[in-house]
Chains A and B, each alone.
Chain A
C-alpha cells in the first residue's frame, strides 16, 4: 500500500530542570493514502508529541528530536529547513487540535482566518479567496456561510468552531490531516457529526488521516488501523477489527475493560490498577509491568520488542499469546 506519511523510529525528549526525559522512545507508524489511522493512548503516552513532531511544532529547546525520520513525499521532514517546512505545513499536511475555541484567533473573523491559509499558500485574488472560503464553510456543514464567515470565534459554539478549524485545515486540500482529539471537547451529538465529516472528506478528497484519541469507541468507528501507545512506545499495532476481536497486549485489554458498555450495568469495572509511570520513572524492562496482570520475571528484566503475533498484528509483550479478552 502506498503510504502518505511514515514515521520511523522516532525519539523525542524534553529537558526539565537539567534532566533529559525521553517522552517518545522509538515510535514507528505508517499512514497509508486515503485511510484513517488511529493512535490511542492516555495522557502522557507521547501521542500528541509524535503528531507535533510531524508538523515540526515541537519547541526546541526544551524539546529535541533525537533520532528518527518522518518520511513524506520521499523526503525526511525532520531535515527540512523552516522555509521548506512552511510550504508543507497547513498546505500539504494540516492539523486540527482539541480545543477549537482556543485555537482560533479571537480578533479576526473566521473568514479571515480560513482565508489566511489560502493567501499564504495559493496565489489567488481576493474574490476567489472569498468564494473558496464560502465553499469550505459549506463543505464542513456550516449553515449560511456568507453570513457566518463574518463572525468572530466567540460568536460560534464549540461544534461550529471545530468545523471552522477543519475548514481551515482543509483549505489547501492537504494530503495528510492530523486530528488530535478533534472531538474531545465536544458533545456526543456534535462528535458524531464531526467524525462523519472527517470520514466523508477522506473519501471525497482521498486524504490520509492520523486520528489521535483516547476513546476506543471513536477508533472502532472510523479507523482502519490502530496503534496503541503506552509510556512513549507503540505497544500494539493491528487492523481495527483484529485489535478489538483479539487484542494481544494486556494494556489494550485493560483499556477495553475500562469502558463501561451501554449493555451492562452497575458492576465493578476491571480497572487497570495504578497510574501511567512518568518519563524518567520508566522501569527497566516492559513499561507496563507494574500494572500488568500477566507480569512475569522476564518482563522486569528485558524489554519486549514489537513483534508479529498474527499476520499484520504486532504486540510488544512477552506473553502476547496468553492475552485474553474477557467476555
Chain B
C-alpha cells in the first residue's frame, strides 16, 4: 500500500495561563510525540477514553490546530509549516466529519450552500457544473435532491450526518478524519452511516482516520487500530490482531469492558481502577502505571517505547 500520510513525533500542547498577565504556567500535553503512517485507501481506527487526545490528534493532522512540534508529511510533502494560503490546495484534499451533526452545520445556510461551499471557495468550475456536482454528491450519500433547498433543522440526526458527509466528499478529497461521526446517532441509524462510510471508501478509494470511543464500531470499519492513552499511542496493530491478541494491559481492559450482546457469554469484566490522570502533569515513566494491574517498579521510572512485538504489532509496554 502506498503511503498517503505520515506524522513524525507530532505534538500539540495547549498552554495554561494564570494570573492577570496571563503568564503561561503549564501545558496540557494533548498529543505528545506520535508517529503514525497511513496508507492510501486504508482506515486507521483511533480509540481511547475521553480526554486521551484523540480528537486533538485528528484536528492537528489536518492542521486545524497548529502543531507544537513534529512533522506532518502528506503525499511525501512536508505540510507542517505551510501558511494558510499554502495550505489551501492541500486542504481541499483532506476533510473532517464531526461528531455532532446538530452543531456542525450552519443553521442559517441551505443544504445546497453547505455542500457547495467548499467548491465555491476552491473555485471549482462554473455555476452549472457546480450545481451538477452537488446533485451528484447528494445522490452518493443517499439524500434526495429536494433536500438541497431546505435548512439543516428540517432533518433528522442521521440525515444531517449525511449532509456533513456530502460536504466532506464534495471536493473528492483523499483523506477524511471521521471524529466520532456516529456517536450522536441512534443504533439503527449508526449502522446506515457505517455502511455509507464503507461504500464511499470502496467507490472513491478514500483514506480514513476513524476516531471513536466505541470499540465495536472501530473494529468493524478499520484495517488497523491505534490505542491512545494520555496523548500517546500505546498499541497499534491490524484490527483483527488487536482484538484477538491485545498485548498492552490497557488495551486488554478496554476490550474486555465492551458489553457483548450475548447473555450466554459471561465476560470477565476487568474493571479499571481510577480515572484517566490529568494530561497537565502525567505520571512519570509509563503514564498508565498507576492504574495498571501488572505494573512493576521499572514502569514508574522508565517510559516504554513503542516497538514492534512481531508482525507489525506495535506496543509500548515493558512487560510484553
Contacts and interface: CB of A to CB of B under 8 A. Distances in A.
Interface string A206-232: 000000001111111100000000000
Mostly, the B contact residues are helix
Nearest to B195: A268
A262 B260 contact: yes
A30 to B, nearest CB: 20
A220 B49 contact: no
Contacts of A216: 187, 261
Contacts, number: 141
Given A159-B275, A217-B258, A270 B191 contact: yes
A29 to B, nearest CB: 19
B217 to A, nearest CB: 6
A305 interface: no
Contact of A264 (B191, B220, B262, B276): B220
B253 A244 contact: no
Given A43-B186, A217-B259, A258 B272 contact: no
A249 to B, nearest CB: 13
B191 A272 contact: yes
A193 interface: yes
Contacts of B217: 260
Given A260-B194, A268-B195, A220 B262 contact: yes
A304 interface: no
A189 B192 contact: no
Contacts of B116: none
B188 interface: yes
B140 interface: no
Given A262-B258, A276-B186, A187 B191 contact: no
A96 interface: no
A187 B258 contact: no
A188 B215 contact: yes
A265 interface: yes
Contacts of A219: 261
A192 interface: yes
A265 B255 CA distance: 15
Contacts of B243: 262
Contact of A189 (B187, B253, B259): B253
Contact of B263 (A188, A221, A257, A268): A221
A275 interface: yes
Interface string B262-290: 11100101111011100000000000000
Given A259-B187, A262-B215, A189 B221 contact: no
B320 to A, nearest CB: 20
A266 interface: yes
Q: Which of B189, B222, B254 has the largest number of chain A CB atoms within 10 A? A: B189
Contacts of A215: 187, 259
Contacts of A214: 186-187
A255 B187 contact: yes
Contacts of B261: 216-217, 219-220, 244, 256, 259, 261
Interface residues of B, number: 48
A244 B260 CA distance: 11
Given A160-B275, A189-B272, A241 B220 contact: no
Given A217-B259, A241-B264, A262 B186 contact: no
A190 B261 CA distance: 18
Contacts of A218: 259
A61 to B, nearest CB: 24
Contacts of B122: none
Contacts of B270: 192
Contacts of B262: 220, 244
Contacts of A301: none
Contacts of B220: 260-261, 264-266, 269
Interface in A254-290: 254-262, 264-266, 268-273, 275-276
Contacts of B153: none
B104 interface: no
Contacts of B275: 157, 159-160, 190
B158 interface: yes
Contacts of B269: 192, 196
A42 B240 contact: no
A91 interface: no
B257 interface: yes
A271 B186 contact: no
A254 B188 contact: yes
A143 to B, nearest CB: 8
B92 interface: no
A53 interface: no
Given A260-B216, A275-B158, A188 B258 contact: yes
B190 A262 contact: no
B271 A187 contact: no
Interface string B216-236: 110111110000000000000
Interface of B: 49-50, 156, 158-159, 186-192, 194-195, 198-199, 213, 215-217, 219-223, 239-240, 243, 253-264, 267, 269-272, 274-276
Given A191-B257, A266-B221, A271-B192, 14 more contacts: A158-B50, A159-B275, A187-B213, A188-B254, A221-B263, A254-B188, A255-B187, A258-B188, A260-B216, A260-B220, A262-B255, A262-B260, A265-B219, A271-B195
23 contacts: A42-B188, A42-B189, A143-B274, A187-B213, A190-B49, A190-B275, A217-B259, A219-B261, A220-B263, A240-B263, A241-B264, A256-B261, A259-B187, A260-B191, A260-B216, A260-B219, A260-B221, A261-B220, A262-B215, A262-B258, A262-B260, A276-B186, A291-B188
- Chain A to chain B: the 10 pairs with minimum beta-carbon distance, closest first: A217-B259, A260-B220, A271-B191, A258-B191, A272-B188, A42-B186, A269-B191, A271-B192, A189-B272, A187-B49
